[in-house]
Structure 1
Amino acid sequence: MEIHTDCLGFYNAPDSTGQTLFKCITDVFLRLNIPIERLKGYCFDGASNMSGRFSGVQARLKEVCPDSLFVHCANHSLDLVLQEVGREISLVAETLNFVQGIATVIRESSKRKELYVSMFGCDDVVNILAICPTRWCVRTIAINRVCSSYTELQKTLKILKDDTSVRGDARAKIGGLYKQSLKGRTLFGLLCCEALFEPCEAVAKDLQINNARAQGALECTNLLRERIVALRDDTVVQGIESKVTAAEQKIADVRQHRASKTPACYRHTTEPEAHAMSTWRQEFFEAVDLLTAELKRRFDQDGMKIAALRENVLIEAANSRGQQQTLELESLPLPQPISDVDRYRLDLQLKMLGDAIGLMEEDQA
């Protein structure tokens, strides 16, 4: 049951349409004398030309190999989940932009690097990292380092914003980052992103190991969903807010959304109505809900479930060492001797043949 991997090479396609890529794949199999009918599975990203249900590469391969399985890359699915959260939740988007801006300002000049390092004194220096533009699952380290060196970054930005030797556009950007660092919302967003991204990065590492399994990917995703759902708790938010308060940040009074009051004729109490939740807490809970929903949607794949089921049957059969086992073959979508399309065509041909024989007999009569 060991995995054997071979790289078939790199091929330059004239364009990226599904039809062209399908022809390239079949051409490679033909040149290497590999029967494409024996293809049992393939894994792509979510692009329409690859994963499209009607004209994508996976749909065209499915026509040639009806019993094959398509699986959307698990690690890429997790990456898309975090992209959706960063695009829809303003708190997460603003925080990631702040981390990237800090890294760009400090790292683009050796003079600024030396000023930043001097803020640590005899302590160990925390190097600032830029955010990876494509891999969303490896951004936790950059967020953690900004959190751990937040005070030193503030001091560095405060000096740089008044430094006349810094060019005007850079100094304006530094001044904006400094004002943003004084807001409690910024540190709150950093701590929230740290809580959301850290478990996702741990799961991403497990999804990329050499002996990764389809069943293991589903189990890791379920555990990740449970971990994220557990963050939707007032005690978690209170803990984050206490850290912001302990850092002596300027926490401005957040404007509450206007509460929709119940008409007096329908109220049977004089108790005041509860106020709406603060904007920070609401945005964090929205991020948690969206992340949970996207995990369920992205990893709810029929191909992954069937692959995990077949995988378990093979492993159990290998571990049984010849012992008899009762397998539920009905629940295991195995390839049929003949596909439904071929069966329909065969029935149609038999019907046409029968009609032709009947017409011949009538003519002879």
Structure 2
Amino acid sequence: MSDISALLPCPEPVQLLAPDGTRVEPGELATARGYAMPEPEALLEVWRHMVLGRRFDAQATALTKQGRLAVYPSSRGQDACQVAPILALAERDWLFPTYRDSMALVTHGIDPMQVLTLLRGDWHCGYDPQATRTAPQCTPLATQAVHAAGTAHGLTRRGSDGIALCLIGDGATSEGDFHEGLNFAAVFEAPAVFLVQNNKYAISVPLAKQTKAPALAYKGVGYGVRSEQVDGNDPAAVLAVMRAAYQHARSGGGPVLVEAHTYRMEAHTNADDATRYRTADEVDGWTGQDPIVRLQTYLVEQGHLDEARIEQVRAEAEELAADLRTRMNAESVVEPLSLFDHVYAEPTPQLVEQREMVRREISESAHTLEPTEARP
């Protein structure tokens, strides 16, 4: 019989930095699992990308209010979960994001303009999934869990030691695809890591109305999946836990489920009124746990970061935002016939017929709208 204790998460979320930026010692089990403070260089890179990501997120929110985006789900407050896991990935790994993980995609090196293509309504996916090893942002809850499990299994069958990272929200853990993905990955020992960003609400449904489990991390145990929970607003702890999870999966240990306890500072999307289901005091309480401030405080006190570097990165973030504004303010070019692209690898006769019909209608409409020559 296998040792079930090896599957259980730490009784308390792993933490290396307190909310005020001071260093704390992890618990006995966390220490035994090797969750040590990452090196300063790695933490500086996490901090830098969180600053850039936060500015991108704010700019995208503003563009939504200006009508340049159809919708935008902010990830402000979840910055550590959006950045640290991405920076720990290897080039050969795959990423499976949700609609809320735009900051993660920017951290992954994808052009911010391409990241927002879907949310702008221009195209199904603005980047090349094969070239970036990043699946399209998934809107239906939890379907990417099955995709990640299958891809991870495929990587193993091809002899690769790559892994698949599946980003998921707490609401998605109530969906069947989440459980199917975990079960498949466990049975086939697929190198998939499932990161649940528990931001406490599935739109307006609080966590207490979703599960009776002591923590979402325990959901992996029933499938034989090694599980862990971490303070999702502690960038150092998130990086340490995710590194260990990747190593476990990459070395043939099978899948890992990590629950990151964090908070969504903004509303679900610009179409949501969060004041209907949560209080200002609750939001204010989480403001004091800002992951950027927490890590910046630690790095400054340790002498790894100074005001000059802070201003330099802030300026870099403003340049990113300005470039995004300029490009997003340009009207997109719509190609109606692109509607038929990428539907099938080999277009069906019906699709060819429909495409030709639309082409003729466009041609006839253009001919009808041509100005007539002036008559004497």
TM-score by length of 1: 0.24
Higher share in helix: 1
TM-score by length of 2: 0.24
Higher share in strand: 2
Which one has more relative contact order, counting CA pairs under 8 Å at least 6 apart? 2
